[in-house]
Structure 1
Amino acid sequence: MRIEIQLRIIADDNSVISEGEILQFDKGDDRLEMIGLSFDEAKAALAGIQGGMVTAQAASFLARHRSCDLCGTLLLSKGPGWTRFRTAFGTITLPSPRFYHCSCRPGEARTFSPLNLLLTEHIAPELLYLETRWASLVSFGMTADLLKDVLPIGSTADASTIRRHLHKVAAHHDADLGNEQPGGPDAGNGQPFPQAAVIVGIDGGYVRNWHDKKHNFEIVVGKSMAAGRDDRYFGLVRSQDEQPGRRFREVLRSQGLPVIQPVTMLTDGGDSVRALAGELSPGAVHIIDWFHIAMRLTGMDQYVKGLAHHNPVEALALEHRLERIKWRLWHGDGEEALIRAQALAADVAALNIAYPRLKRLIKAAAGLATYIANNAAAVVNYSRRWDNGERISTAFVESTVNLVVSRRFAKKQQMQWSKKGAHLLLQTRTKTLDGTLRDLFTRWYPGMAVNDNQVPDLARAA
Structure 2
Amino acid sequence: MNVKLQIVIESEPGGLPIIQEVAQFERAGLQPATLGLALSEAKSILQSVQQALVEQQVSGYLAQQAVCQDCGEQRVCKDRRGIVYRSLFGKLNLQGSRLLHCACQAHSTKSFSPLSELLPERSSPELLYLESKFASLMSYGLSVQLLAELLPIGASLNAASVRQNLHQVALQLEAELGEEQSVFIEGCPDEWAKLPRPELPLTVGIDGGYVHSSEQTSRQDGWFEVIVGKSIPASGNSKVFGFVQTVEQKPKRRLFEVMQSQGMQMNQQVTFLSDGGESVRELQLYLNPNAEHLLDWFHITMRLTVMQQMSKGLESAQGELKAGAVAALEHIKWNLWHGKVSRALQWIEDLAVDLDTAETDEKQRKLSKQVQEFEVYIHRNRAFIVNYGERYRYGEVISSAFVESTVNQVVSKRMVKKQQMRWSKKEAHLLLQIRSKVLNAELQPAFRRWYAGFAVEEVEPVLAA
TM-score (norm 2): 0.89
Whole-angstrom distance in 2 between the partners of 1:94 and 1:243: 41
C-alpha change, 1:262 and 1:389, in structure 2 (3 Å) is closer
C-alpha change, 1:153 and 1:227, in structure 2 (3 Å) is same
- Do 1:224 and 1:233's aligned partners in 2 also have CA atoms closer than 8 Å? yes
**Partner in structure 1 of residue 189 of structure 2:** none
**Partner in structure 1 of residue 117 of structure 2:** 117
- 1:392 equivalent to 2:401? Answer no
- Do 2:212 and 2:421's aligned partners in 1 also have CA atoms closer than 8 Å? yes
C-alpha change, 1:256 and 1:155, in structure 2 (3 Å) is farther
Whole-angstrom distance in 2 between the partners of 1:52 and 1:274: 59
- SS across alignment from 1:227: coil
Q: How far is 1:411 from its partner?
A: 4.2
Partner AA of 1:149 in structure 2: E
Q: Which residues of 2 match residues 3-152 of structure 1 at below 5 A?
A: 3-11=3-11, 13-16=13-16, 18-152=18-152
**Partner in structure 2 of residue 212 of structure 1:** 216
Bigger drift between 425-434 and 55-64 goes to 55-64
C-alpha change, 1:416 and 1:280, in structure 2 (3 Å) is farther
- Do 2:202 and 2:233's aligned partners in 1 also have CA atoms closer than 8 Å? yes
Partner AA of 1:270 in structure 2: G
Which of residues 203, 207, 218 in structure 2 aligns to 1:203?
207
- Do 1:81 and 1:96's aligned partners in 2 also have CA atoms closer than 8 Å? yes
Partner AA of 1:161 in structure 2: S
**Partner in structure 2 of residue 370 of structure 1:** 376
Q: How far is 1:162 from its partner?
A: 0.2
C-alpha change, 1:17 and 1:82, in structure 2 (3 Å) is farther
Partner AA of 2:205 in structure 1: G
C-alpha change, 1:385 and 1:166, in structure 2 (3 Å) is same
**Partner in structure 1 of residue 348 of structure 2:** 341
Whole-angstrom distance in 1 between the partners of 2:73 and 2:126: 36
TM-score (norm 1): 0.90
Whole-angstrom distance in 2 between the partners of 1:167 and 1:43: 28
Q: How far is 1:160 from its partner?
A: 0.2
Q: How far is 1:11 from its partner?
A: 3.5
Whole-angstrom distance in 2 between the partners of 1:237 and 1:337: 34
- SS across alignment from 2:66: coil
Partner AA of 1:202 in structure 2: I
Partner AA of 1:379 in structure 2: I
C-alpha change, 1:262 and 1:86, in structure 2 (3 Å) is farther
**Partner in structure 1 of residue 175 of structure 2:** 175
Q: How far is 1:154 from its partner?
A: 0.7
Partner AA of 2:453 in structure 1: G
**Partner in structure 1 of residue 258 of structure 2:** 251
Partner AA of 2:428 in structure 1: A
Q: How far is 1:446 from its partner?
A: 3.4
- Do 2:185 and 2:288's aligned partners in 1 also have CA atoms closer than 8 Å? no
- The count of corresponding residues between Structure 1 and Structure 2 is 449
Partner AA of 1:364 in structure 2: Q
- 1:232 equivalent to 2:239? Answer yes
Which of residues 401, 422, 432 in structure 1 aligns to 2:438?
432
Q: How far is 1:67 from its partner?
A: 1.3
C-alpha change, 1:347 and 1:431, in structure 2 (3 Å) is same
**Partner in structure 1 of residue 275 of structure 2:** 268
Q: Which runs of 5+ in 2 are unaligned?
A: 187-191, 460-465
Q: How far is 1:103 from its partner?
A: 0.8
Q: Which residues of 2 match residues 159-170 of structure 1 at below 5 A?
A: 159-170=159-170
**Partner in structure 2 of residue 326 of structure 1:** 333
Q: Which runs of 5+ in 1 are unaligned?
A: 456-462
Whole-angstrom distance in 2 between the partners of 1:155 and 1:60: 29
**Partner in structure 1 of residue 303 of structure 2:** 296
Whole-angstrom distance in 2 between the partners of 1:126 and 1:395: 37
Whole-angstrom distance in 2 between the partners of 1:19 and 1:179: 54
Partner AA of 1:348 in structure 2: L
Which of residues 379, 382, 385 in structure 1 aligns to 2:385?
379
- Do 1:79 and 1:99's aligned partners in 2 also have CA atoms closer than 8 Å? yes
- Do 2:180 and 2:250's aligned partners in 1 also have CA atoms closer than 8 Å? no
Q: How far is 1:233 from its partner?
A: 1.0
Whole-angstrom distance in 1 between the partners of 2:18 and 2:111: 29
Partner AA of 2:148 in structure 1: K
More helix by share: 1
Q: Which residues of 2 match residues 306-317 of structure 1 at below 5 A?
A: 306-307=313-314, 309-317=316-324
C-alpha change, 1:25 and 1:412, in structure 2 (3 Å) is closer
Whole-angstrom distance in 2 between the partners of 1:342 and 1:46: 74
- How big is each residue's C-alpha offset from its partner over 1:197-249, in whole Å with a ceiling of 9 and x where there is no partner? 11111111112211225321111111111111211111111111121122113
Which of residues 360, 363, 366 in structure 2 aligns to 1:360?
366
